[in-house]
Structure 1
Amino acid sequence: MTIFEFDTLGTIRFLLPGDDGYEEASTVSVRTGSPAVVAQPANAAEVATAVRFAADNGLTLSVRAGGHSGSGHSTNDGGLVIDLSRMTQMSVADDSLVTIGGGATWGAVADFLRPYELAISSGDTRSVGVGGLTLGGGVGWMVREHGLALDQLVEAEVVTATGDVLTANESENDDLFWALRGGGGNFGVVTRFTFRAHELAGVHFGALTFGDTDLETLLRGWRDAMREAPERLNSTFLSMPAFGEDAPGGVTILVNYAGLDDDEATAAIAPLLALDGLASNSIQRTAYSELLSEPMHPPQGIRVANNNGFASDFSDVVVDAVARMYTALPGSVLMIRYLRGSFNTVDPSVTAFAFRDSETLIISAAFFPEDAPDSATDAYQAQWNTLLPHLQGIYGNFSALTSDLATPQMYPPPTLARLARIKAQYDPGDLFDQNHNIRPAADWR
């Protein structure tokens, strides 16, 4: 560890190449970076100093919270990484407001809230950072009842590109608050989040697996059951290839009923249990913190191609198109997350997260040898493109596309234009560009 003590920097923990902890702090889920320096601030004032240092020295600036970063933006080569891992403090107020440091992970949050019998609908992976997931959306295991993670956010402390520390909520810097909820890390470093938590003593969670069955029929049955299900019931449809003896592949419906009442849970889940081809059922009572999983990463030497998109109506036409696409891609993964509920009741103008009328989020991934020709991934892309007439937008948190490709698909033009104007106000020089970047307004005209 190296400590720099300069008049302009104060005393901040810095890591240089070769220091203990440098490699870990430079690594995210998809790559290891080689930044010139990693800053590990302990509070907002130190974050502000690190931001000014990056700006003054023309350094590429990345912000690392949980280090999940499927797009790889949370590290860089030759620049500065602000690693928020020392800022993980949490507290609960009497009105179920939960304050969380910008470096916390969702697994730690769930563990912390468990004794209070509270929960925040987040993602479904323990190691994902609160910051990255929330600012980009947060489609979690209670999305139908409580909406996105960002829908539960009531306030944020933000360090801007000028090093100012601002509070953003519905009455103070409300334009910034709007942009943070869906605009990603484009507007500053969020050092503290305040969420409205929900009472939750436990859940009924598990997997329903299915044997040989017609995919279209099963998808329709799942959709119809979810259309009638109470919003406390959330589920994800998953079809996987085999990944060795311990992961034989097949169709699984992951199920979460947010509550411990056995009779209510049984009644809610019953239509899913009645679907043809049910082979096993592992649903049981558990704590919300127990259903958050560790991420799955493909083995070394594998090239991954992936896509996602929202379907406003998961109609029979869309179901058939999805089934045809998936059948034409042997060895690929299909995941469909059901959204209809509170997710849809938020007015699209209230946050920067768009496509609120969606019924499902459809995700596809295919795996190729690292030396596979581009023609193989092109063929996969061509199959996915057959779905595009039925889809709208993409979910940025699940996209590894470059910014020029991803950002215009993440937002309708009016939303993107408003985000670009706010970007020009808070970050006119685009210091925070290591993300699905929203360039300042002039660049989007």
Structure 2
Amino acid sequence: MAIFKSLLVALTLSAHSVQAAPQKYTDVVNCLASSNVPQDYPGSSDFTQDTIPFNLRLNFTPVAYAVPKTVPQVQAAVVCASKVGVKVNPRSGGHSYASHSIGGEDGHLVIDMKYFRDTKVDPSHNYIATIGTGARLGNVALALFNQGGRAMAHGICPGVGIGGHVLHGGQGYGSHTYGLLLDFLVEAELVIANGSVITASEKQNSEVFWALRGAGYSFGVVTNMKFRTIPAPAQNVLFYYPYSWNKTQARAGWDAWQTYCGGYTTPQIPAEMNIRWVLGKDSGDNLSFLLEGAYHGSNDAFLTAIAPLLNALSAIGGYQASTRGVGPHQLGWLDALLYANSNGLYKDWDNGQTLDTPVNYTAHAIMFAKSLMTDNLTPAGTDAWINRLYATGPSNSRNWYFIIAAQGGPTSVVPKVPAGSTSYAHRDSIYEWQIVDAVADGIYPNQEGIAWLNPFITDIENAEKNVTFGMYYNYADPTLGGGKAAGERYWLGNYERLAKIKKKIDPGLLFANPQTIGT
């Protein structure tokens, strides 16, 4: 029912958009047609379907929608937008939490890269993989493995497009061990604002290459990318340990977690461990804490590696062995990417898809989300968010959840890459927080939901002596506003350098949404 309602809304907005800007609509559509650029015409069923956002809370209507199949068609679409004077947004998988891939507001030209989806591995050149920016992670994983048993570290949701994922970070169940996906990127081909095609790498257009690896969609339409690959890990342990905790237990559990992940004097977490908490509702005043992740190594090595944390949590209590099949599961690489529950059912949260994801795959949510990048919190910071969690979480009837992943820390590969080598600005952060407040269907209560979630951030930062923590652009938060205010959250001290590169390569701000560089 929610999808059907959104289709009606999209159709209505399409008609409204055409009426509000008839000349630009006519000019863009005619320019694309005369340039032989395939497009979904506004008002058509294809347009309606393709412009449904991932986050149904934020519905926007493009003025036109290009679906190119060749690089010259991408160039022509960019030239058309420049001539007519409309903003451009590339779309790879369309999973933007803020609907940035369809503009983040009405009236933009979307260039959907879904047909740029090939993955080709060259065994004669160190197994470098050339991948289209519209390829989905599941298809990429399959293709890499089938072409020489290769792999990369990336997210675990098969339907996510690789373009936005890699160009702003690319965290997943291999980040702690192998690094971010953007650290695998060695070259990118992109169409820039003047319609020309450039290659960006460490040797060519190196400033643009620096900018792409962290803030990519501000600088052009990336068409194809080259990545280094690694041999797919043969041994992978997936694990799940659920706990039901009251406030006192949660406070103690967080201390044990920080000691395990961020103990710089005697670190306990090994490089092979990729681990996170998933928090949600339970029963009464208790909340659910699920410890899960992937260990790249043998089952015996995993049990040794996880023991310090499990021993500390055992002393706290609250273990819920009966809630799902738990503990370690030894799997091969592809199965490890799919394995999501103790029954061995191969599905993920993206509508139960397998790795082989269709070109017109879609997934939807109705939510408001925020992120935070932190080191170990002080006792005051820990008290601040735990207190708010237990004061408001049990009474929140919506589908809220927290995911807190150990991305960095003393044994992680992520901070070992020099901080200034890419525009991604959060290498020194140990934890990546994703905080989501959602509803299953219907209309999201914006005022209520935003008012519930935002104070978690302010409470933590006020307790941490008014520290301003970074945030992750792939969990974009439109309530941050635009321009420098948002930019210095997403890119911290790199924002000014990024703004200078943006001004040079895209002086007219052709590639823009409300939170891109320079807006």
**Which category of TM-score, normalised to the shorter sequence, fits these structures?**
0.7 to 0.9
2:136 paired residue number: 105
Residue 85 in structure 1 maps to residue 114 in structure 2: yes
Between 1:50-59 and 1:6-15, the stretch displaced more is: 6-15
1:320 is aligned to 2:358: no
Q: Which residue does 2:51 correspond to in 1?
A: 26
Q: Which range is displaced more, 224-233 or 86-95?
A: 224-233
Q: Within 1, Cα distance between the matches of 2:308 and 2:62? A: 52
Q: Is the 8 A contact 2:499 2:518 kept in 1?
A: yes
Give yes or no for contact 1:62–1:73 (8 Å, CA) kept in 2.
yes
- Cα displacement string for residues 45-76 of structure 1 (whole angstroms, at most 9, x for unaligned residues): 21111111111112232211111111101114
Equivalent residue, structure 2, for 1:436: 515
Deviation of residue 317 (structure 1)?
4.2
1:406–1:436 CA contact under 8 A, matched in 2? yes
Q: Is the 8 A contact 1:154 1:196 kept in 2?
A: yes
3-state SS of paired residue (2:422): coil
Whether 2:448 is the aligned partner of 1:386: answer no
| 1:70 equivalenced with 2:78 (yes/no) | no
- In the other structure, the counterpart of 1:283 is 328
- Given that 2:245 and 2:287 are in contact with CA atoms closer than 8 Å, whether structure 1 keeps it comes out as no
Shift of the 26–92 alpha-carbon distance from structure 1 to 2, 3 Å rule, reads: same
Q: In the TM superposition, what are the counterparts of 1:122-201 in structure 2 within 5 Å?
A: 122-199=154-231, 200-201=233-234
Whole-angstrom CA distance in 1 between matches of 2:280 and 2:334 = 25
* Aligned 8 A contact 2:62 2:107 in 1: yes
**For residue 403 of structure 1, what is the amino acid of its counterpart?**
G
Partner of 2:416: 345
Alignment of 1:205 onto 2:238: yes
Distance 1:7 1:61 in 2: 13
Structure with the higher strand share, 1 or 2: 1
User: Is residue 411 of structure 2 the alignment partner of residue 411 of structure 1?
Assistant: no
Query: For the residues of structure 1 that align with 2:172 and 2:514, how far apart are their CA atoms?
Result: 21
Q: Does 1:294 align with 2:349?
A: yes
- Mapped to 2, the partners of 1:158 and 1:128 lie a distance apart of 20
Q: Secondary structure at the match of 2:279?
A: strand
2:168–2:473: 8 Å Cα contact kept in structure 1?
yes
Question: Which of the numbers 219, 224, 228 marks the counterpart of 2:259?
Answer: 224
1:422 to 476, 493, 501: 501
Structure 1 residue 362: Cα displacement: 2.4
* 1:436 shift after superposition: 2.6
Match of 2:437 in 1: 366
Paired residue for 2:66, among 39, 50, 74?
39
What is the aligned partner in structure 1 of residue 26 from structure 2? none
Q: 2:308 aligns with which of 271, 290, 299?
A: 271
Shift of 1:87: 0.7
Superimposed CA distance per residue, residues 211-234 of structure 1 (whole angstroms, 9 cap, x where no aligned partner): 345001112223333341211111
Equivalent in the alignment of 1:251 = 289
The more displaced of 164-173 and 23-32 is 23-32
In structure 2, distance between residues paired with 1:5 and 1:377: 41
What is the rounded CA distance, in whole Å, between the counterparts of 1:298 and 1:386 in structure 2? 32
Unaligned runs of 5+ in 2: 1-28, 262-266, 339-347, 352-361
Q: Bigger CA drift: 169-178 or 385-394?
A: 385-394
The equivalent residue for 2:345 is: none
1:329 aligns with 2:392: yes
| More deviation, 139-148/165-174 | 139-148
Amino acid of the residue matched to residue 213 of structure 2? R
Q: What amino acid does structure 1 have at the position aligned with 2:135?
A: A
Structure 1 residue ranges without an equivalent (≥5)? 441-445
How far apart, CA to CA, are the structure 2 residues paired with 1:53 and 1:163?
9
Q: CA deviation at 1:282?
A: 4.4
Q: Partners in 2 of 1:253 and 1:125 — Cα distance? A: 18
Structure 1 letter corresponding to 2:70: N
**One-letter amino acid matched to 2:291:** I
Evaluate the alpha carbon distance shift between residue 24 and residue 305 of structure 1 in structure 2; reply closer, same or farther with a 3 A threshold: closer
Tell me the alpha carbon deviations over residues 371-413 of structure 1, each in whole angstroms, 9 at most, x when there is no partner: 7583664354334311014352111111222434422211224
* 1:237 counterpart residue number: 277
CA contact (8 A) 2:54 2:364 kept: no
Question: What RMSD, in angstroms, separates the aligned Cα atoms of the two structures?
Answer: 2.9
1:379–1:205 Cα change, 3 Å: closer
Choose from 351, 363, 372 the match for 1:309: 372
Query: Structure 2 counterpart of 1:420, which letter?
Result: A
**Segment drifting more, 369-378 vs 420-429:** 369-378
Q: How far apart are 1:319 and its partner, in Å?
A: 3.1
